[in-house]
Structure 1
Amino acid sequence: MKALIIGATGATGKDLVHQLLQDPDFKEVHVFVRKPLKVENEKLKVHLVDFEKPEEWKNLVKGDVAFSSLGTTLKVAGSKDAQRKIDVDYNAQFAKSAKENNVEDFILVSAYGADRNSNMFYSKLKGELEEKIKELHFNQLTIFQPGMLERKSSDRFAEVAGAKVIIFLNKFGLLKSQKPLPTNILAKAMVNASKIKSKGYSKIKLGNIFSFAEKHN
Structure 2
Amino acid sequence: MKKTALILGASGLTGSYVLQKLIADERYDTIKLISRSKLKDQPAKVSQFIGDLLDLEQFKTDFIADEVYCCIGTTKSKTPDKTLYKKIDYGIPVSASKLAKINGIETFLVISSIGADKNSTTFYTKTKGEMEQDVLKQNIKNTYVLRPSLIGGQRHEKRTLEHMGLKFFKVIQPLLIGPLKKYRIVKAETIATAMIHLANSNQQQTNIINSEDIQQLGNNN
Please state how far the C-alpha of 1:207 moved relative to its aligned partner.
1.8
Matched residue, 1:194: 199
Taking structure 1 as the reference length, what is the TM-score of the superposition? 0.94
Matched residues in 1 for 2:79 and 2:219: separation?
34
Contact 1:146 1:209 (8 Å CA) reproduced: yes
Deviates more, 1:74-83 or 1:133-142: 74-83
Matched residue, 1:180: 185
Matched residues in 1 for 2:118 and 2:76: separation?
17
Question: What CA RMSD, in Å, does the superposition of the two structures yield over aligned residues?
Answer: 1.6
Write out per-residue CA displacement over residues 95-140 of structure 1, whole angstroms, 9 at most, x where no aligned residue: 1111100000000100001111101111011101101110000011
Match of 1:141 among 140, 143, 147: 143
Please state how far the C-alpha of 1:53 moved relative to its aligned partner.
3.4
Distance 1:166 1:77, change over 3 A: closer
> Structure 2 matches for 1:34-113, cutoff 5 A?
34-113=36-115
> Structure 2 matches for 1:14-33, cutoff 5 A?
14-33=16-35
Letter in 2 for 1:191: I
Deviates more, 1:71-80 or 1:81-90: 71-80
Letter in 2 for 1:167: K
Q: Structure 1: which 5+ residue stretches go unaligned?
A: none
Matched residues in 2 for 1:188 and 1:16: separation?
7
Contact 1:3 1:64 (8 Å CA) reproduced: yes
| Helix, strand or coil at the partner of 2:32 | strand
Q: Structure 2: which 5+ residue stretches go unaligned?
A: none
Distance 1:39 1:78, change over 3 A: farther
Please state how far the C-alpha of 1:176 moved relative to its aligned partner.
4.1
Please state how far the C-alpha of 1:206 moved relative to its aligned partner.
1.3
| Helix, strand or coil at the partner of 2:33 | strand
Matched residue, 1:127: 129
Contact 1:140 1:200 (8 Å CA) reproduced: yes
Match of 1:213 among 211, 218, 221: 218
Please state how far the C-alpha of 1:56 moved relative to its aligned partner.
2.1
Please state how far the C-alpha of 1:172 moved relative to its aligned partner.
5.2
Identity percentage over the alignment?
Answer: 26
Contact 1:58 1:94 (8 Å CA) reproduced: no
Please state how far the C-alpha of 1:173 moved relative to its aligned partner.
6.0
Aligned length: 216
Matched residue, 1:203: 208
Write out per-residue CA displacement over residues 56-112 of structure 1, whole angstroms, 9 at most, x where no aligned residue: 211211110111010111222240000000111122111111110000000010000
